[in-house]
């Protein structure tokens, strides 16, 4: 089973990390257990997370000097493999080593690294990442928790002024965390310096809350039961001066503040930018869950039969129905595209975070934008696709024993955590509008709308990987669209970039026009739908270009040929989904638009025999799929077929 060439193409640059995970985590030991209570799930995940292999998974993201792998890309891929296995396990690990450990690495300095990193890697020190507040999730620059320096005692006073400022949805808080990286407004000498982070003990050795710390429990959630999300409030908690994670801002004993970055906003978004890996991991994890769901639905659709064809005895396999193909195969093609785009994103993360010398600000902003856009698109794609897969299993898809309910419930939160998708897409659009010049990793929404409206520039497309190949393909397209073959890759690329460019140009025009005569809030708000479309069109192009680059890298000729067809389906089904726009802007004639629908159906027919092969290439161990129907349905179908003769031999009355 499987197509090794295809699997190799998907496994990509960090294939060794994927292989290690499949081997180290083999069997059922780490697999999700359906129907657990909240307490059972928390207990199991808390235990399992400490049993995870350190190398290469957990250690990959940490500095080599502290026993880490110095491999940020590998660390993101290792997290994605955990997500392939169980999402509670991934999130719990992600909180401990990605968010908590990652913040200590990125925002702390040698004294923090020396004191804590080894215990963090070994999980002897479990921690939280306490940024979000009940009142401020998206607008983190406006957090209300304060941390005020007192030169008399040389300590900070950490304080939660009201309920909306309590830290909320904090993983590891309700049960296991001993310390937390707490984000708060730094105040010293009577002045605010914006949000900074401190390492703060929240529980003592017996697991009791530290004095002044109140710990709440977020209780039952839609999913991710194994993650103990909770609430933290601080009632004038004393924090020693050296517990400020001070890489980007220092407070001297006398209270003097200093920072390598003068501007508060710039500093804050630079700090956030160092934590971009979390967003990369969430997008990749969503796609991993999507691959699990598609594998289940496609394999089930191969064996499950319903309704006999006219004049035939045997019923028809679900995958033979066009409507089933329209749902599963198009989602599968998109998932392939997203997997290549994610691989490219992880590579970009790796290059930026392992580069010598000062940070290349432009590349950093571009990375943040890509991470934001691909996180939003992958998590929404996961939500839609897992739902479709659950429906594709009928009633069986509703039973916990068939895994899909868990996949659906666990991934749901991804659309709003590590950044609300709508807010993230605005960030992407803003980056495009300003050429990343001043967009930072900013989630500041509307605050500087006027500024953005004034700064928008003529658009220049940033090319992704395989720049020259893509330009060649685009340039090779003959002049008149109507004469170009529907499967011409250069034409696909041109259609995608044309949409992006035209939408962006239109947004620029409308913003400029609005800036002259509207209230600042309305300038942006009146075009919010248009701006979000720009971001989505941008991500579509990034995905197609990554798909093209991925095919180019594929060595195996058969795999390459199949991937090209899958890319055709991705490209044409995306154009079909936006045919309204293309027709409105006369990029498609009505006859050609109809021809695209016919061609999509034709591609579905061609790809039908390869459906199983395409999910096999995801190489997900059977045990990880944890789906009872996949184990039982083939035997049931066989027995039914054997028995059918008896019933069907009985003559009917009419």
Return the residues of window 69-108 that contact a copy of itself according to CB under 8 A: none
Q: How far apart are CA 587 and CA 593, in angstroms?
A: 10
Rg of the chain in Å (alpha carbons): 26
Residues facing residue 315 across a β-bridge: 308
d(CA 16, CA 71): 12
Q: Does 521 bind a copy of itself (CB under 8 A)?
A: yes
Give least dist CB 526 to a copy of itself, A. 7
Q: How far apart, in whole angstroms, are the C-alpha atoms of residue 22 and residue 443?
A: 37
Tell me the C-alpha distance between 3 and 6, whole Å.
Answer: 5
Of the residues 167, 279, 350, 408, which one makes contact with a copy of itself according to CB under 8 A = 408
Binding letters toward a copy of itself, positions 597-616, x by CB under 8 A: x---x---------------
Identify the DSSP state of 463.
P
Contact pick of 3, 172, 285, 421 for a copy of itself (by CB under 8 A)? 421
Structure tokens at 308: 């006999």
Token readout for 597 is 């629908």
CA distance 360 to 347: 15
Q: Which residues contact 284 (CB under 8 A, 6 or more apart)?
A: 76, 77, 79, 80, 83, 342, 346, 378
Contacts with a copy of itself in 25-54 (CB under 8 A)? 34-35, 37-38
Kindly identify the residues of this chain, within the stretch 378-397, that bind a copy of itself according to CB under 8 A.
Answer: 383, 387, 390-391, 394-397
Q: Which part of the chain contacts a copy of itself (CB under 8 A), choosing from 43-51, 281-289, 518-526, 544-552?
A: 518-526
Q: Smallest distance from the beta carbon of 575 to a copy of itself, in angstroms?
A: 10
Q: In terms of CB distance, is 29 or 162 closer to a copy of itself?
A: 162
Which residues partner with 157 through β-bridges? 148, 238
Q: Whole-number minimum distance, CB 303 to a copy of itself, in Å?
A: 11
Look up tokens 């501007």; give the residue.
263
Q: Which stretch binds a copy of itself (CB under 8 A): 62-70, 79-87, 406-414, 566-574?
A: 406-414
137 binds a copy of itself (CB under 8 A): yes
DSSP SS3 for 197: strand
Q: Does 360 bind a copy of itself (CB under 8 A)?
A: no
Q: Among residues 254 and 521, whose Cβ is nearest to a copy of itself?
A: 521
481 touches a copy of itself by CB under 8 A: no
Does the protein bind a copy of itself through residue 156 (CB under 8 A)? no
Nearer to a copy of itself (CB atom), residue 497 or residue 533: 533
Selected from 64, 252, 309, 485, the binder of a copy of itself by CB under 8 A is 309
Nearer to a copy of itself, 53 or 447 (CB): 447
146 makes contact with a copy of itself (CB under 8 A): yes
Q: How far is the CB of 289 from a copy of itself (least distance, A)?
A: 15
CA distance 347 to 351: 6
- CA 200/CA 121 separation, integer angstroms: 18
Smallest gap from Cβ 140 to a copy of itself, in A, equals: 11
Are the CB atoms for 515 and 456 separated by under 8 Å?
no
Contacts for 361 with CB less than 8 Å, ≥ 6 apart: none
Per CB under 8 A, contacts with a copy of itself among 214-253 are 218-223
Q: Which two tokens stand for residue 106?
A: 């990125």
Contacts 24+ apart (CB under 8 A), 512-521: 512/453, 512/456, 514/453, 515/450, 515/453, 515/454, 520/446, 520/449, 520/450, 521/446, 521/449
Which tokens go with 82? 């955990």
**Residues between 436 and 465 that touch a copy of itself (CB under 8 A):** 444-450
- Which of 64, 65, 252, 322 binds a copy of itself (CB under 8 A)? It is 322
Which residue of 263, 354, 471, 606 would you call a contact of a copy of itself, by CB under 8 A? 263
Residue partners of 299: CB distance under 8 A and separation at least 6 = 612, 615, 630
Q: How many other CB atoms are found less than 10 A from the CB of residue 415?
A: 21
Question: What is the footprint of a copy of itself within residues 175-214 (CB under 8 A)?
Answer: 185, 187, 190-194
Among residues 264, 351, 462, 556, the one that binds a copy of itself under rule CB under 8 A:
264
Between 2 and 35, CB nearer to a copy of itself = 35
- Which one from 343, 418, 497, 545 is the annotated catalytic residue? 418
| # binding residues, a copy of itself (CB under 8 A) | 119
Nearest to a copy of itself of 185, 334 (CB atom): 185
Contact residues for 213 (Cβ-Cβ < 8 A; gap 6+): 200, 202, 203, 232, 233, 234, 235, 237
Least distance between a copy of itself and beta carbon 266 (Å): 10
Is 418 labeled as catalytic in the residue annotation? yes
As measured in angstroms, the least distance from the Cβ of 164 to a copy of itself is 4
Restricting to residues 566-595, which ones interact with a copy of itself according to CB under 8 A?
578-580, 583-586, 590, 593-594
Q: Name the phi and psi angles at 174, rounded to 5.
A: -70, -20
Tell me the window of 84-92, 134-142, 290-298, 337-345 that interacts with a copy of itself (CB under 8 A). Answer: 134-142
Catalytic residue numbers, as ranges: 418
């Amino acid at each position: 089973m499987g197509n090794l060439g295809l699997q190799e193409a998907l496994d990509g640059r960090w294939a060794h990390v994927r292989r290690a995970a499949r081997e180290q985590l083999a069997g059922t030991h780490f697999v999700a257990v359906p129907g657990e209570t909240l307490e059972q799930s928390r207990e199991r995940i808390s235990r399992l997370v400490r049993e995870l292999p350190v190398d290469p998974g957990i250690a990959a993201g940490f500095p080599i000097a502290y026993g880490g792998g110095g491999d940020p890309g590998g660390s993101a891929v290792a997290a994605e493999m955990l997500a392939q296995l169980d999402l509670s396990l991934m999130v719990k690990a992600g909180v401990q080593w990605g968010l908590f450990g990652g913040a200590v690495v990125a925002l702390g300095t040698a004294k923090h690294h020396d004191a804590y990193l080894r215990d963090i890697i070994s999980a002897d020190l479990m921690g939280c990442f306490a940024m979000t507040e009940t009142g401020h999730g998206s607008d983190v620059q406006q957090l209300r928790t304060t941390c005020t320096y007192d030169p008399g005692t040389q300590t900070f006073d950490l304080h939660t002024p009201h309920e909306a400022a309590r830290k909320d949805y904090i993983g590891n808080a309700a049960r296991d965390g001993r310390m937390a990286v707490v984000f708060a407004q730094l105040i010293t000498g009577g002045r605010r310096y914006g949000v900074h982070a401190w390492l703060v003990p929240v529980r003592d050795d017996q697991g009791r809350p530290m004095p002044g710390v109140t710990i709440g429990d977020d209780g039952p959630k839609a999913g991710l039961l194994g993650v103990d999300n909770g609430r933290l409030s601080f009632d004038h908690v004393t924090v020693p001066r050296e517990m400020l994670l001070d890489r980007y801002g220092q407070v001297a004993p006398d209270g003097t503040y200093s920072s390598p970055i003068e501007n508060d906003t710039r500093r804050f978004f630079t700090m956030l930018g160092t934590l971009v890996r979390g967003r990369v991991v969430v997008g990749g994890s969503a796609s991993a869950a999507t691959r699990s769901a598609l594998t289940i639905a496609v394999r089930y659709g191969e064996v499950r039969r319903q309704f006999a064809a006219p004049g035939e005895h045997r019923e028809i396999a679900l995958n033979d129905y066009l409507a089933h193909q329209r749902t599963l195969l198009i989602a599968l093609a998109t998932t392939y595209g997203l997997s290549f785009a994610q691989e490219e994103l992880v590579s970009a993360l790796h290059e930026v975070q392992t580069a010598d010398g000062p940070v290349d600000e432009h590349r950093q902003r571009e990375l943040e934008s890509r991470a934001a856009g691909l996180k939003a698109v992958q998590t929404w794609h996961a939500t839609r696709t897992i739902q479709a897969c659950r429906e594709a299993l009928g009633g069986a898809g509703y039973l916990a024993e068939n895994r899909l309910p868990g996949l659906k419930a666990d991934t749901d939160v991804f659309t709003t955590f590590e950044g609300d998708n709508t807010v993230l897409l605005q960030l992407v659009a803003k980056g495009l509008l300003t050429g990343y010049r001043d967009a930072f990793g900013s989630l500041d929404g509307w605050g500087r709308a006027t500024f953005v409206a004034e700064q928008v520039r003529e658009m220049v497309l940033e090319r992704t990987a395989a720049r020259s190949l893509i330009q060649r393909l685009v340039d090779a397209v003959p002049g008149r669209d109507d004469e170009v073959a529907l499967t011409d890759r250069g034409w696909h690329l041109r259609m995608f970039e044309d949409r992006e460019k035209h939408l962006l140009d239109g947004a620029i025009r409308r913003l400029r026009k609005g800036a002259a005569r509207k209230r600042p809030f309305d300038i942006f708000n009146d075009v919010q739908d248009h701006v979000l479309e720009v971001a989505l069109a941008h991500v579509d192009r990034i995905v197609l270009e990554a798909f093209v680059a991925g095919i180019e890298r594929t060595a195996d000729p058969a795999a390459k040929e199949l991937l090209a067809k899958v890319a055709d389906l991705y490209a044409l089904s995306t154009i079909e989904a936006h045919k309204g726009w293309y027709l409105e802007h006369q990029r498609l004639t009505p006859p050609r638009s109809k021809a695209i629908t016919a061609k999509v159906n034709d591609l579905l027919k061609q790809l039908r025999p390869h459906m199983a092969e395409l999910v096999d290439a995801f190489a997900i161990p059977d045990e990880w799929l944890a789906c009872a129907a996949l184990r039982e349905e083939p035997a049931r179908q066989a027995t039914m077929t054997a028995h059918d003769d008896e019933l069907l031999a009985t003559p009917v009355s009419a």
